[in-house]
Amino acid sequence: MLCDLFTHRLKPVFVSSKPPKKKTKNAHLSLSDQKLQKITRRIPKERKKKMHSFGYRANALLTFAVTILALMCAMASMSDNFNTPSPTSQVQVLNINWFQKQPNGNDEVSMTLNISADLQSLFTWNTKQVFVFLAAEYETPKNALNQISLWDGIIPSQEHAKFWIHTSNKYRFVDQGSNLRGKEFNLTLHWHVMPKTGKMFADKMVMSGYRLPQEYR
**Contact partners, residue 169, CB within 8 Å, separation at least 6:** 109, 110, 111, 113, 150, 151
Mean pLDDT calculated for residue range 183-203: 91
- Going from N- to C-terminal start, the domains of the chain cover 31-81, 83-211
- Which has more pLDDT, 202 or 83? 202
Fold of 83-211: Immunoglobulin-like (2.60.40)
Check whether 41 has a pLDDT greater than 80: no
pLDDT digits (tens, 9 = 90+) for 77-104: 666 666 788 899 999 999 999 999 999 8
User: What mean pLDDT is predicted for residues 170-195?
Assistant: 93
- Are 139 and 133 a contacting pair, CB within 8 Å? no
**What pLDDT is stored for residue 71 in this prediction?**
75
What's this model's pTM, rounded to 2 decimal places? 0.66
Q: Are 165 and 133 spatial neighbours (Cβ–Cβ below 8 Å)?
A: no
